């Protein structure tokens, strides 16, 4: 730990005037030594112990991993939790029906008895972080191959995790940082009874949909409300009507004071992944393969889905969450590709690499230690290019684009059971498949998937070299259907036992191996799996050199004391980022102010437009200026605001916290002009977009009449 801190302190001192302090996703145990001085200078009134402590309740005890992909925060003594609307979207969708469309109309539990359970939804609290680098690397010996090194490290990591969790229900994991140069033990507690309390209609919670996604000015009330429950003993427990609301160690007070430019802003959350140490070769792969492929394939699929969603309310409910998940990173790819090109990020990475090459060449010991790092990375990316391209097409076209192929996992299980001849195993497997299919078919529309499958099979054949084509193209499509993909897919949906729930249920009552092995879905999936396995095997040939190259590259950058080597890349562990509320200038002669208002929402209103329609009640409340105690002293109803905090995916739902430790908003997006930020931070452009907590409370209280939820919170006037 001391060596690690010494390195980071040297970097901070050497480059303190050149690197922007707002950049960085910081590890909580290090903030006392690395960040408190700057944070205090920006206005923070708290101590590091107030933020992160393992000896007393602190802010970190109010922050949770929400469902594995978002962040949430506890805001009451009764376990009330806030996160983004788009984070709770899957649960809102799951509870929606044509008769009770909570996506369209919103939902508010007026009593705890009306709070809705969510199977498989979890929230996870961090208990502690501890550096274990020396323990982990003690098992690494000179001369080990990369595979041997990885095996030794993983064995030690597993032992540390077992010891940390022994005798408890806690979950322990040892995560790597800086490309495997440092390791931390993180201990968590997970709760599995999390109930849906409320959310505004999508016309508020997703206002602007795809058009406004990743854009500023933003006018989206992106929030939803849940509650964490425990067993009667206060410990994590599965759902039961006898469970009680969580009594949290800490919950965030909520401030409805006005926000001003320059105010301190801090975020604690779980950023998923950044690649700030990426080389020019990784940027090249993003620009030439990853982003173009995702943009092209998802764009075609989403156009098909959206047409059916707009034509049928039931289909809209079925596909709303799936479409949202697909389109979010489709537009992200559009924006990041444009940002990487506009800001010439590849050339900037090459400048760092040139600096590295000169630094290495100046010293024989450096050359011996780090001289191969860039070559290993370059050769890996160049060698794997055609396989990476093929793998992405397999994933996007077949796995994500043909929903019916999801059934292959269960078809394979059933085939194995039938081959075993064990009647009990066959019966149990059939029951397991039926349990899955009930949820699958609930959100599945065969005609939509049929259209999508036709488009995806055609696209894969036209875009991917023939050597990567699954053999169903030649053996079935060409021979039996004379290369007519439409007829092939129509036949599949007409004959497959998986094409609808009724047909599959009847088959599972009397399953026959021969019928299963000749099913068109099964045959297509087996064919795709063979190619996918071959491609994955080829890709894996480059893993060792790429892993070793990155570890050496990042270690060298730390030793070089580069401008940006101040914090580890995001890896879904809790981080702190700090900054201020600020405007920004996206281009010449244009300045965006730091907040938006309810009047701006109404000005975007387009009656009947799925992205910009609004409830009449919201329009009326705005026109009558019925803002209650939530209005700004300036007379407007605030909606969203901007900060200079450094966030990424996974931070969705993270609390924006003021200098006094009070909740002022929920982070939910980044801005279009800085979409390259996961690869290269842009201090003049990068902004976090947050929904103002005053708008959240106004929607709950004034718009929805759920004042009882606001009354649970500690409101700071």
User: DSSP assignment of 51-107, as one string?
Assistant: HS-SSS--GGGGEEEETTTEEEEE-STT-EEEE-TTTSHHHHHHT--SSS-HHHH-E
Q: Which residue has the tokens 């500690």?
A: 714
Strand partners, 225: 82, 198
Q: How do the domains of the chain map onto residue ranges?
A: 57-118+194-261+583-663+679-717, 123-191, 280-540
Annotated active-site residue 669? The verdict is: no
Single out the residue of 634, 659, 648, 635 nearest to residue 689, CA to CA: 648
Residue pair 374/279 in contact (Cβ under 8 Å)? The answer is: yes
Q: If you search the block for the tokens 């080990």, which residue do you land on?
A: 144
Cis status of the peptide bond prior to 389, with omega within 30 of 0: no
The distance of Cα 38 from the centroid of its chain, to the nearest Å, equals 29
Q: What does each C-alpha distance from 542 to 246, 396, 413, 539, 608 come to in angstroms?
A: 47, 22, 31, 6, 52
Distance (Å, whole) CA 642 – CA 262: 11
CA nearest to 202, candidates 80, 118, 92: 92
Per the listing, tokens 């989403």 go with 302
Choosing from 22, 48, 86, 280, the catalytic residue is 86
Which string of DSSP letters, residue by residue, matches 553-588? HHHHHHHH--TTTTSPPP-SS-EEEEEEB--EEEET
Contacts of 214 (CB under 8 A, 6+ apart): 331, 332, 335, 669, 670, 671, 672, 675
Distance CA 385, CA 289 (A): 8
Q: Please confirm, yes or no, whether 222 is among the known catalytic residues.
A: yes
Strand 715-716 vs strand 254-255: parallel, antiparallel, or unpaired?
parallel
The rounded Cα 679 to chain-centroid distance in angstroms is 16
Q: Which residues, 6 or more positions from 685, have their beta carbon under 8 angstroms from its beta carbon? A: 584, 586, 671, 673, 674
Strand partners, 656: 267, 665
Q: Quick one: pLDDT at residue 435? A: 86
User: Which phi-psi region, left, alpha or beta, contains residue 179 (left: φ > 0; alpha: ψ -120 to 50)?
Assistant: left
Tell me if 214 sits within 8 A of 335, measured CB to CB. Answer: yes
Q: Strands, DSSP E only, in 361-451?
A: none
Confirm if 396 and 597 have CB atoms less than 8 A apart: no
Q: What is the pTM of this model?
A: 0.93
Nearest to 462 by CA among 485, 489, 493, 491: 485
Among candidate residues 222, 263, 308, 449, the one labeled active-site is 222
Query: How far is CA 451 from its chain centroid?
Result: 28
Cβ-Cβ contacts under 8 Å for 698 (sequence gap 6 or more): 627, 628, 630, 637
Consecutive H or E run containing 716: strand 715-716
Closest CA to 319 of 103, 105, 494, 108: 103
pLDDT value of position 563: 54
Residue 587, Cβ density class (10 Å: 0-12 exposed, 13-18 middle, ≥19 buried): exposed
Among candidate residues 76, 321, 632, 652, the one labeled active-site is 652
CB within 8 Å of 378: residues ≥ 6 apart: 279, 281
- Give the Cβ contact number of residue 435 at 10 Å: 9
Helix (H) or strand (E) holding 214: none
Strands 193-199 and 116-117: antiparallel
pLDDT at 439 (0 to 100): 87
Q: Supply the pLDDT for residue 17.
A: 30
Cα–Cα distance, 269 to 685 (Å, whole number):
21
Residue 253: its H or E element: none
Q: Which two tokens stand for residue 8?
A: 């980071």
Rounded Cα gap, residues 708 and 324, in angstroms: 31
Report the pLDDT value the prediction gives residue 33, as an integer from 0 to 100.
87
pLDDT mean for each 10 residues of the chain (717 residues):
48 37 86 92 97 96 96 98 97 96 98 97 98 96 92 97 96 96 97 98 97 96 98 97 98 98 98 96 98 98 98 96 95 96 96 95 96 97 98 97 94 94 93 88 96 98 98 97 98 96 93 95 96 97 96 93 72 97 94 98 97 98 98 97 97 98 98 94 93 98 98 97
Q: Which two structure tokens, joined as six digits, stand for 64?
A: 């949770």
pLDDT score of 468: 98
Q: How many residues does the chain have?
A: 717
Residue 117, Cβ neighbours under 10 Å: how many?
17
CA-to-CA distance for 312 and 471, rounded, in angstroms? 36
Nearest to 225 by CA among 83, 386, 398, 385: 83
d(C-alpha 110, C-alpha 384), whole Å: 55
pLDDT of amino acid 34: 87
The confidence score (pLDDT) of residue 4 equals 52
List the Cα angle 327/332/337 in 5-degree steps: 135
CA 524 – CA 472 distance, rounded (Å):
6
Q: How far is it, in rounded angstroms, from Cα 394 to Cα 423?
A: 35
Separation of alpha carbons 441 and 573, rounded Å: 34
Quick check: 231 and 240 in contact, CB under 8 A? yes
Instruction: Please state, in angstroms and rounded to a whole number, the distance separating the CA atoms of residues 297 and 460.
Output: 9
Q: Are 352 and 562 in contact (CB under 8 A)?
A: yes
Answer yes or no: are the C-beta atoms of 681 and 565 closer than 8 Å.
no
User: Residue 234, exposed/middle/buried by CB under 10 A (0-12, 13-18, 19+)?
Assistant: exposed
Query: Which sign, positive or negative, has the C-alpha torsion 122, 126, 132, 135?
Result: negative
Please state the separation of Cα 396 from the chain's center in Å: 17
């Amino acid at each position: 730990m001391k060596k690690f801190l010494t390195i980071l302190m040297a970097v901070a001192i050497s480059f303190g005037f050149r690197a922007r302090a707002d950049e960085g996703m910081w590890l909580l145990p290090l903030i006392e030594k690395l960040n408190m001085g700057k944070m205090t200078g920006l206005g923070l009134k708290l101590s590091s112990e107030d933020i992160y402590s393992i000896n007393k309740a602190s802010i970190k005890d109010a922050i949770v991993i929400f469902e594995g992909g978002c962040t949430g925060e506890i805001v009451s003594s009764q376990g009330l939790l806030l996160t983004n609307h788009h984070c709770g979207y899957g649960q809102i969708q799951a509870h929606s029906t044509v008769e009770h469309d909570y996506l369209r109309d919103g939902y508010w539990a007026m009593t705890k008895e009306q709070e809705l359970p969510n199977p498989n939804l979890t929230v996870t609290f961090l208990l502690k972080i501890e550096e274990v680098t020396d323990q982990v690397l003690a098992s690494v010996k000179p001369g080990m191959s990369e595979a041997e090194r990885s095996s030794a490290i993983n064995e030690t990591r597993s032992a540390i995790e077992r010891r940390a969790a022994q005798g408890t229900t806690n979950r322990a994991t040892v995560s790597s940082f800086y490309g495997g140069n440092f390791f931390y033990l993180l201990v968590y507690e997970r709760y599995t009874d999390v109930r849906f309390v409320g959310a505004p209609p999508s016309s508020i919670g997703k206002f602007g949909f795809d058009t406004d996604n990743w854009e500023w000015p933003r006018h989206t009330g992106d929030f939803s409300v849940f509650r964490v429950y425990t067993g009667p003993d206060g410990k994590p427990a599965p759902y039961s009507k006898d469970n009680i609301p969580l009594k949290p160690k800490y919950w965030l007070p909520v401030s409805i004071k006005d926000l001003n430019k320059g105010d301190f802003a801090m975020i604690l959350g779980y950023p998923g992944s950044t690649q700030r140490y990426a080389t020019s070769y990784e940027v090249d792969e993003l620009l030439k393969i990853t982003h173009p492929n995702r943009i092209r394939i998802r764009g075609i699929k989403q156009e098909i889905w959206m047409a059916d969603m707009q034509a049928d309310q039931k289909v809209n409910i079925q596909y709303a969450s799936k479409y949202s998940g697909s389109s979010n990173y489709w537009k992200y790819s559009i924006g990041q590709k444009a940002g990487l090109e506009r800001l010439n990020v590849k050339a900037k990475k090459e400048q760092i690499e040139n600096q590295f090459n000169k630094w290495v060449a100046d010293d024989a010991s450096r050359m011996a230690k780090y001289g191969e790092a860039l070559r290993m990375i370059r050769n890996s990316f160049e060698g794997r290019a055609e396989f990476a391209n093929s793998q992405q097409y397999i994933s996007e076209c077949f796995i994500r684009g043909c929903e019916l192929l999801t059934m292959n996992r269960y078809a394979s299980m059933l085939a194995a059971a039938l081959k075993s001849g064990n009647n009990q195993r066959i019966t149990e497997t059939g029951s397991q498949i039926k349990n899955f299919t009930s949820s699958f078919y609930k959100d599945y529309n065969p005609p939509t998937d049929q259209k999508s499958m036709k488009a995806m099979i055609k696209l894969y054949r036209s875009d991917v070299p023939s050597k990567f084509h699954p053999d169903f193209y030649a053996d079935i499509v060409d021979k039996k259907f004379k290369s007519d993909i439409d007829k092939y897919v129509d036949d599949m949906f007409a004959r497959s036992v998986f094409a609808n729930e009724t047909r599959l249920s009847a088959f599972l009552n009397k399953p026959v191996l021969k019928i299963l092995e000749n099913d068109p879905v099964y045959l297509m999936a087996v064919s795709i799996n063979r190619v996918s396995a071959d491609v994955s095997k080829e890709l894996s040939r480059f893993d060792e050199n790429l892993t070793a190259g990155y570890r050496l590259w990042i270690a060298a950058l730390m030793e070089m004391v580069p401008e940006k080597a101040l914090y580890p890349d995001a890896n879904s562990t809790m981080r702190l980022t700090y900054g201020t509320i600020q405007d920004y200038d996206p281009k010449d002669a244009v300045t965006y102010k730091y907040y938006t208002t309810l009047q701006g929402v109404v000005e975007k209103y387009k009656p009947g437009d799925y992205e910009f329609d609004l409830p009449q009640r919201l329009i009326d409340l705005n026109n009558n200026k019925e803002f209650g105690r939530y209005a700004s002293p300036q007379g407007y109803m605030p909606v969203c605001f901007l900060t200079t905090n450094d966030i990424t995916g996974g931070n969705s739902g993270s609390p924006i916290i003021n200098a006094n430790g009070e909740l002022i908003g929920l982070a939910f997006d980044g801005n279009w002009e800085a979409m390259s930020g996961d690869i290269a931070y842009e201090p003049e452009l990068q902004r976090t977009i947050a929904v103002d907590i005053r708008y959240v409370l106004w929607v709950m209280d004034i718009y929805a009449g759920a004042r009882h939820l606001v009354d649970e919170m500690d409101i700071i006037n």
